[in-house]
Amino acid sequence: MRWLDYLIRRLLMAILVLISVSIITFFIARVIPSDPAAAWVGPRPTQDQINKARVQLGLDSPLWIQYWRYATSFLKGDFGTSVRTHQPILNDLKVYLPATMELVLASMIIAIVVGIPLGVLSGAYKGSLLDHSTRLISIAGVSMPTFWLGLILQLFFFAKLGILPIGGRISNEVALFSPIHVITGFYFFDSLIAGNWLAFKDTLLHLILPSFVLAAYATGLVIRMTRSTMVEVLNENYILAARVAGISEKKVLFVLALKNALTPTITVLGLCFVYSLTGAILVEVIFSWPGLGTYVTNAVMSIDFPVIVTVTLVVTVFYVLINLFMDLLQATIDPRIRL
Amino acid sequence: MNRQRVISLIILGIVLIFTTTQCTPQPTPPAATEATTGLSPAPTVEEPPPTSGEASLKEVFVYAHQTAFPDLDPMRSYSNDSVVTSNCYETLTFYNPPGSKDVLSPKLAESWEANTDATEWTFHLRKGVVFQDGEPFNAEAVKYSIMKVKEIGVGASYIWDSVKEIQVVDDYTIKILLSYSAPLDLIASTGYQAWMVSPKTYESESPEWYNEGNCAGTGPYTIESYERGSRLVMTRFEEYWGGWKPGQFEKIVFEISQDSVVLQQKIESGVADFTYGVPPDNIPTLEKNTDLVVYTNPSFQNLVGLLNTKKPPLDNKLVRQALSYSFPYEQFIQGVMGSRATQARGVVPKGMWGHGDELLQYNFDPEKAKQLLTEAGYPEGGFKLLMTYSNGDMDEQQVGELWKAELKKLGIELEVQGMNWEAQWDLGKSDPLNAQDIFVMYWWPDYVSPYAFLKSMFVTESPTLFNLGYYSNTEYDKLVDDGNILTGVDRDAATMKFIEAQSILLDDAVSLFFYDVNNEHIARADVEGFVDNPAYGHVVFVYQLTRK
C-alpha cells in the first residue's frame, strides 16, 4: 500500500499548498495600492459611484471575511468576477485555458519528438558532427528570445512566403464560412470530432508557428538534458554488457540506456509544461493567441485582483498535480527511485 | 506493486482530466451546430476554400484591433468596446465630425428643443425604427434606456446625473426634466452609455449574454459570433431603418492582435482593412504605400501636467509660469511624437467647439523662465519637484526625461516617477501638501463639451477627484458653470465663457498643456467613405463604407 499512502500524503500536501497560495496571493493583491471599487466603475469614477461599488463588491467588510467569502465560493465553482470586465472569471477561463493548453501540448509534443531522439543520438555519438550541430540547435533554442524568433518566423513564413498565417487560432474564412462547433475548447479536437476538415487543416496551420516558437526553449533543454544523462549512462557497465551480448545498437540506445536517462528529462518537461501555461505570454501576444498568458498579463496591468488570485490558484493546481504525476511516472519508469 | 502503481497513475490521470474538463465550455445550443454542419463543405478532405466564400470576403470589413473587448453590455461598457457597440446601437443625436456645418445631427431623434434655461428638453423620435429583437423603438424605450443606465451607475453613467424625470408625451415624443441646466442634446450623442437598448431584451438577458456575443440595438449590424479575446463577427440587420444600398459591407470582423508589428503586417498584407496602433516609427513607410491611406487627425485627447497649486514652490504663480516656459514643446513633438501630436493651445483640444485659436500658447523660452524664477526669489532654482505619470506610457516617460534635462539647467531637480494609475491617482487624492508636484495624465471628454475639460480638472473640488492640481478660483468656477448652462441654449455665448475661463487658467499657469494627441488610422485604399470622427475615437461606422 506504499503507493496509495504516498499518493494520499501528497494530495494532502497539495491541498495545504493551495490554501497557502490562496491566502498569500489574496492578501498581497489587497495590500498593494489599488482600489478595486474604482476599477469596477471605470476610468472616470465619481465618489458616489465608488462608494456604491464598494458596498456592492463587499469590499466594506474586514479582509478575513472577504477571504472566507472568496474561498467558499471558489470551492463551489464560483471563481469570482473580474473588476475590469465585470465578467465571471469562469467564463473567461473556459475560453483561455483550453487555448493555452492546446498550444502548450503541441509544443511539448514537438519538444519530445524532436528533443529526445536528438539528445540520445548526440549523446551516443559524442563529438561527431551531429553532436556539434545539435548543440548549436539546442543552444539557439534556449537562448533565442521568443519574441524575436516569433517575429522572424512571421516575417518569413507569412510576409515573404505567404504559406502560414500570421496569428490567431483560425482564419476569417473558416470563422465565417465553416465555423467550429466548440465542445472541448481544443479546436484541434473539436474540428476533428465534427469532421470539419477545412477547420482542422486551418487549426493545424495556425498551430505550427506558435508551437514551434514555444517549443524552442523546451526542445533545447530536453536535448541538453537527455544528452548529458545519456553520456553518463552509456559509460555504465550494463551497457557494455548488453553490447557484448550482441544486442542491437538501436535497442541499447533507445530502450536500455534511454530508460535510465529519461528521469531528469521528465522533470524538465513537467516544469516546462506548467511554466508555459502562463509563461507563454510573449508567444501568445505575438501570435494573437487568446490564452491564459495574455489574460493574466492584462489582469496584472490593470490590477484586476480577483483574476490574478484565481489564475494563480488554477495554475497552482496544475503545477501540483503535474509535479505529482511526473514524480510517479519517474518512479514507474526508473525502479531505482524508491518512494 | 506494479498494479498499485498503475492504479495510482490512473487516479491521478482522472483527477487531471477532471480539472481540465471543469474548465472546458459546454456544448453550444443546437443553432450553432446547424450553422456548423450547414455551412461546412462536404467532408471530402482536400477541397480548397469555396470560391463563393472568396468572393464574399470582399463584402467583409476586417478591423484589426489592438485590445480585447472588456464588456459588451451597452449599459456598462466604457472602453474600447465602443468600436463594436457603435455598429449595433444608436444614440438620439450624433456628433458631427469637425468641419461640419452643425455640431449635431439627428439620429434616433429627428428634432429636439429646450426651454430657455435648458432644464426641460423635448425630443421628437424617428418613426418606423425597430430593434434587432423585433421590438419597436419608441418613447418608452428611450425612458427605459436612460433610467436603466442611471440605475446601474457604472462607467460614464454620471453624464445623465442632471436628469430628474422623464415624461412619455406620446409614442414618439419624450420630455426630459432636469434638476439643473445641462446640454442634453450633446450628452445624448455620447459614444458610451447613451445607447438606446430594447427594454424587452435588456430585462430578460443577463450581462453575460452580451459578452457571449449578442446585442439588440437599432443599428445596422448585429453580433453574429464572438470568440472571446480573438474575433468578433457582426452581420447585417436587414430591417435597419436606414435601408441598404448595393456595395455596403455584409459583415464586419474584429480581429484582436495585441502586437503592433502584427497589426502592421495585417494591414500591409491586406488581411485587414483597417487598423490603428502600429509602431509610430513605421507610419512614414505606410504613408508611401499606395495600397493604404493613413488618416492623421486631431483626437479630443490631450496630455496635461497639472501643477500642485497648494504646495510650495508651485503655489507661486511666477514659478508655475516659469515651468510653463521651460518645456521644449516643439523639439519634443518633432523628435519624439512626429505626426502623432500637435502642440496644445489652451485646455480644449483643436477641432472641438470651445477651442480658442487666440489663446496664449506657452513656448520654450529658458531666458524668460529664468527671469520669472528670479522674480519669484529662486534665481538659482535650488528646489526639487516630483512628477508622476502612468507606468508603461513611453510618451509620458519621455516628456519627463526631456523636461528633467531642461529643468536641470535652471537648477531645478525633477524626479520622474512612473506609477501604476491607481497608485498615482491615490497619491494625487491624498493631502496636497504631501502629494506630487506635477501630475501628468491624458484627458478626454466624456461628452463633447469644453465643460468636460474645464470642470473636472480645474473647478474647486472637495474631496479631490480629478482636480489634481487642487486649483480653486471662484471667478473661474462661475465662468465654467455659466458656460455650461448656456451650452444648451446659446452655444456661441457658451464658447465665449469657456474661452474666457481658459485664459484665466493660462494666466495662472495651473498646468502644462503639452500636446493634443492625433489619431492615426490606417485603411486599405479600396475602402471608401471613411470619415475620422474624434468624438467617437477609433470607431468606424461601417454602414457608411463601401469597397471599390
Q: What is the pLDDT of residues B355-378, one digit of tens each?
A: 999 999 999 999 999 999 999 999
A88 vs B208: CB contact, 8 Å cut-off? yes
Identify the residue among A49, A83, A177 best suited for mutation to test binding to B, counting B beta carbons within 10 A and taking the highest: A177
Strand partners of residue A71: none
Q: Which residue of B has its CA nearest to A8?
A: B8
Residues 6+ apart with CB under 8 A from B130: B136, B137, B218, B239, B241
Nearest one of B459, B502, B489 to B352, comparing CA atoms: B502
Chain B nearest-CA distance from A125, in A, is: 35
Which range (A271-285, B66-80, B471-485) has the least confidence? A271-285
> Residue A42 is nearest to which of B19, B78, B211, comparing CB atoms?
B78
Q: Check whether A70 has a pLDDT greater than 90.
A: no
For residues B491 and B35, what is the distance between their CA atoms, to the nearest angstrom? 52
Chain B nearest-CA distance from A261, in A, is: 21
The residue-averaged pLDDT of A131-153 equals 89
Select the more confidently predicted residue: A56 or B296.
B296
The residue-averaged pLDDT of B262-288 equals 92
Does residue B223 contact residue B233 with C-beta atoms inside 8 Å? Answer: yes
Q: Which helix (H) or strand (E) holds B295?
A: strand B292-307
Q: Which residue of A has its CA nearest to B29?
A: A181
The whole-number pLDDT of residue B16 equals 47
Q: Pull the grid cell for residue B129.
A: 425604427
The residue-averaged pLDDT of A86-96 equals 89
The whole-number pLDDT of residue B249 equals 96
Chain A nearest-CA distance from B154, in A, is: 5
Q: Is B99 on the interface with A (CB under 8 A)?
A: no
Size of interface A-B (CB pairs under 8 A): 237
Residues from chain B that touch A7, judged by Cβ atoms under 8 A, are 8, 11-12
Nearest one of B67, B522, B520 to B275, comparing CA atoms: B522
For A164, A324, B188, the CA distances from B108, given in Å and listed in that order, are 45, 62, 10
pLDDT digits (tens, 9 = 90+) for B391-424: 878 899 999 999 999 999 999 999 999 988 878 8
Q: Check whether B36 has a pLDDT greater than 50.
A: no
Select the more confidently predicted residue: B56 or A308.
A308
Q: Average model confidence (pLDDT) for chain B?
A: 88
B116 pLDDT band (50/70/90 cuts)? confident
Q: Pull the grid cell for residue B364.
A: 520654450
Residues from chain B that touch A46, judged by Cβ atoms under 8 A, are 158, 465
Q: Is B420 on the interface with A (CB under 8 A)?
A: yes
Share of chain B above pLDDT 90, in %: 69
Residues from chain B that touch A94, judged by Cβ atoms under 8 A, are 23-25
A337 pLDDT band (50/70/90 cuts)? low
The residue-averaged pLDDT of A307-333 equals 83
B31 pLDDT band (50/70/90 cuts)? very low
Select the more confidently predicted residue: A56 or B114.
B114
pLDDT digits (tens, 9 = 90+) for B228-244: 888 999 999 999 999 99
B228 vs A92: CB contact, 8 Å cut-off? yes
Q: Is A221 on the interface with B (CB under 8 A)?
A: no
Q: Check whether A110 has a pLDDT greater than 90.
A: yes
A336 pLDDT band (50/70/90 cuts)? low
Q: Check whether A236 has a pLDDT greater than 80.
A: yes
**A window 6-25, beta carbon within 8 A of B:** 6-7
Q: Is B211 on the interface with A (CB under 8 A)?
A: yes
Residues from chain B that touch A287, judged by Cβ atoms under 8 A, are 262
Identify the residue among B40, B56, B249, B419 best suited for mutation to test binding to A, counting A beta carbons within 10 A and taking the highest: B40
Which range (B64-68, B91-95, B134-138, B214-218) has the least confidence? B64-68
> Residue A154 is nearest to which of B78, B265, B420, comparing CB atoms?
B265
The residue-averaged pLDDT of B100-114 equals 93
For residues B181 and B449, what is the distance between their CA atoms, to the nearest angstrom? 14
Chain A nearest-CA distance from B78, in A, is: 7
**B window 256-275, beta carbon within 8 A of A:** 256-259, 261-262, 265-266, 268-269, 271
A85 vs B15: CB contact, 8 Å cut-off? no
pLDDT digits (tens, 9 = 90+) for B291-314: 999 999 989 999 999 999 999 999
What is the β-pairing status of strands B93-95 and B104-106?
antiparallel
For residues A86 and A98, what is the distance between their CA atoms, to the nearest angstrom? 21
> Residue B28 is nearest to which of A182, A321, A328, comparing CB atoms?
A182
Does residue A213 contact residue A164 with C-beta atoms inside 8 Å? Answer: no
DSSP secondary-structure letter at B137? P
B25 vs A95: CB contact, 8 Å cut-off? yes
Q: Check whether B144 has a pLDDT greater than 90.
A: yes
**A window 45-84, beta carbon within 8 A of B:** 45-49, 52-53, 77, 84
For residues B65 and B52, what is the distance between their CA atoms, to the nearest angstrom? 27
B2 pLDDT band (50/70/90 cuts)? low
**B window 47-66, beta carbon within 8 A of A:** 47, 49-50, 53-54, 56-57, 60, 62
Chain B nearest-CA distance from A152, in A, is: 11
The whole-number pLDDT of residue B53 equals 44
* Angle between helix B474-487 and B491-508 (nearest 10): 160
Highest mean pLDDT of the ranges A45-49, A174-178, A200-204, B422-426: A200-204
Q: Check whether B50 has a pLDDT greater than 50.
A: no
Q: Is B422 on the interface with A (CB under 8 A)?
A: yes
A147 pLDDT band (50/70/90 cuts)? confident
The residue-averaged pLDDT of B486-492 equals 87
Q: Average model confidence (pLDDT) for chain A?
A: 86
The whole-number pLDDT of residue B32 equals 34
The whole-number pLDDT of residue B318 equals 96
A41 vs B154: CB contact, 8 Å cut-off? yes
Q: Check whether A296 has a pLDDT greater than 70.
A: yes
Does residue B104 contact residue B353 with C-beta atoms inside 8 Å? Answer: no
Chain A nearest-CA distance from B64, in A, is: 11
Q: Is A31 on the interface with B (CB under 8 A)?
A: no
Q: Check whether B7 has a pLDDT greater than 60.
A: no
Q: Is B34 on the interface with A (CB under 8 A)?
A: no
Cα A105–Cα A106–Cα A111 angle in degrees, nearest 5: 95
Highest mean pLDDT of the ranges A23-27, A217-221, B162-166: B162-166
Identify the residue among B6, B23, B442 best suited for mutation to test binding to A, counting A beta carbons within 10 A and taking the highest: B23
Residues 6+ apart with CB under 8 A from A140: A216, A220
> Residue A86 is nearest to which of B9, B33, B71, comparing CB atoms?
B71
A286 vs B208: CB contact, 8 Å cut-off? no
Select the more confidently predicted residue: B183 or B3.
B183
Share of chain B above pLDDT 70, in %: 90
